[in-house]
Amino acid sequence: MKIIGAYFSPSGGTKRATQLLCGLFGEYETLDLGGRERAARHFDQDELLVLGLPVYAGQIPAVPGLLDGLSGEDTPCVLVAAYGNRHYDDALAQMKDLMGKKGFRCAAAAAVITPHIFAPSLGMGRPDEADEAVLKELARKVQEKLAGENWTEAQVPGNPCPAPKKAIPVPKDRDWDTCLGCAICAKACPTGAMDLSSLLWEDSKCISCMACVSACPTGALGFSAAQLAEKLTANFTARRDIELFTEG
């Protein structure tokens, strides 16, 4: 069975978690869902999609058409919600609902902790060695399930159609003396919130994913999230374990 890892990972944490899980199945291909252009691929029944998305305020990223290019034919998938140690809330339920409508069947799902973009001490170094052991068991269970016939989809918690939440406003800045004007940051923006010419942000489109900051080759972009980081670290420092969902 061919393994394909698809991910939307503005700051790299979701990519790392998705690739870690994919590697536990064996050789795999990757599909990056980021950037201004939507990636597209059709999946057959003999393929396995491992889909990784970050969690923003308990939901999947509000990127228009993010998953529109993906389609399957009763294709098995494993869903990965990557979050910064607070909670994944409705993200897995949203993913399962959306992917089901696109021809995918949820063989399993995992809520995986990754570094929080605004509070780096939360989820630092994760997924770690202990997490890898848990994900290895998930891979084993998925392979066992798919080897059988008439397997049932995994059930996941949460509301598949929650009311949309507004993005958390995070002030950003640019050091124009360091900026090369290359527009790599604008091309990395998944919502088109940054103008390709002026390189200025349109706040109404920004989802605070910080893809622009992560993509900048000179470190000319930055953001201020000190107050948010203080609130998060005051309430969510206790280590959360990976949660797995394999049963129907």
Domains recognised in the chain with CATH numbers = 2-161+238-245 (3.40.50.360), 172-224 (3.30.70.20)
Q: What is the pLDDT of residues 42-74, one digit of tens each?
A: 999 999 999 999 999 999 999 999 999 999 999
Provide the β-strand partners of residue 51: 6, 79
Mean pLDDT, residues 129-135 taken together: 98
Tell me, what's the pLDDT at 157?
Answer: 98
Note the pTM of the prediction, 2 decimals.
0.96
210 in Cβ contact with 56 (< 8 Å): no
Taking the C-alpha atoms of residue 79 and residue 8, their distance in angstroms, rounded to an integer, is 12
The pLDDT > 70 percentage for the chain reads 100
Residues 6+ apart with CB under 8 A from 226: none
**Which of 116, 125, 48, 129 lies closest to 88 in space, CA to CA?**
116
Structural contact between residues 245 and 108, judged by C-beta atoms closer than 8 angstroms: yes
- pLDDT at site 149: 87
CA gap 188, 8 in Å, rounded: 11
Each residue's pLDDT tens digit, 2-22? 999 999 999 999 999 999 999
DSSP-derived secondary structure letter, 68: T
Q: What is the DSSP letter of 158?
A: S
What pLDDT, on the 0 to 100 scale, is given for residue 248?
A: 83
